[in-house]
Structure 1
Amino acid sequence: MFKFQFSKTTSASILGLFLVVILFILTTILTNHYQTVIADAVTKSNGASLFMYVAVTILATVIAPVSTLPLIPLATSMWGWFVAGLLSVIGWVLGAQIAFFLARKYGKKLVIKIISLQKLEKMEHQFGTTNIFWAVVLLRMTVPVDILSYALGLFSQMSSKAYFLATLIGVTPFAFIFSYAGSLSLGSQLMVLVEVILFIF
């Protein structure tokens, strides 16, 4: 796998992930408290909330750096963990594909307006010429969707179809794990989230 070394970037990533986990748990507490209100809102939305969640997930993926992970407990409360996981996969994959397309078509001039050039150049060195498909699958599990999508669109020779499949394989397990975690008690959530963090790092 990939060598792990502590650096300012790594520390920032850990801090960012920690904040996302805190927001994830806070969202769970709020959704549990307002469960009746949420259920009523879902009934009145007539399915519009499903499309809104996917749209927000896509937008957050394209406009970096934003994470929709804290919204997953809300989605789980609204539609159940399986539907929440499925919608998250759809949003992440479509958003990643759009970011990949933008980078491939318009190049650095557009991308550096969204992602810093320094972050992109650091990502460039992680791409090899062999086994890139499975490398992307593994990176997809550990690197924010937005940064990886733009970096691969700029620096790799990977085809759009291969990237789509690698993204789908990479994000699906975590989408359903986080969605299922959103349905658990706070103690169980902490256990699941800690295990996921240990797997990533």
Structure 2
Amino acid sequence: MSEEKAIWLQVPTEIVRNIGFNVDEKSFAIYAFLLFKKFKAFNNCKIDVSLKDIKVVTGITDNRTIKKCFVNLHDQGLIKYELDKDKLPINKPLQIIMLEPYKSDYFTQIPLELIKSIDRIGLIGFRLMYYYESYINRSNITKLFCYPSYETIQIDLGISNFSVTKYNKLLAKEKLITITKHKAEYDPFGDGGLEKFNNHYTVNLDKL
């Protein structure tokens, strides 16, 4: 991937980390796609998006689940829309107004190619990529990694330890992240006072 040619999909960092929000991985993927549609509309806050496109991009096929995600995003002040109380429009585009209750200069960006990889890395993998990237300061080439604990990830994203491990392994297999063990500190409460290790995560944008 050439950085000069890449299209970067920017998502507000406070939404990536759920700072003041409660956006699950399904709603996050839909919201990211809506941000892309806004970008394609020359940043016009009023966009049209088809239900079919949402299903193809996110892999979410159940209309009730998609509607629940829209309700979630609407209730948190991220989008505005008018939908039928019982069902989503199938034969016409959804008309969405993108709201901006966040700092426009405080975002996390990853090349658009990542959203095209959801079928390979899953919705949780997609969210974790943005989450890890949000902690990396790419202006400091000596610290291009982050080290959130499993407990922090679980609290921020509502993802179980099992799922974090599963999708970390998948992302590593796809070479999208590199995971290294790092000795964090001596833990006197561990088994036999063993030293505690934290993962260091490197996001490999060049692999997209």
TM over 0.5: no
For the pair shown, the structure with the greater C-alpha radius of gyration is: 2
More helix by share: 1
- The answer to which structure, 1 or 2, has the higher relative contact order (CA under 8 A, 6+ apart) is 1
Q: TM-score, normalised by structure 2?
A: 0.29
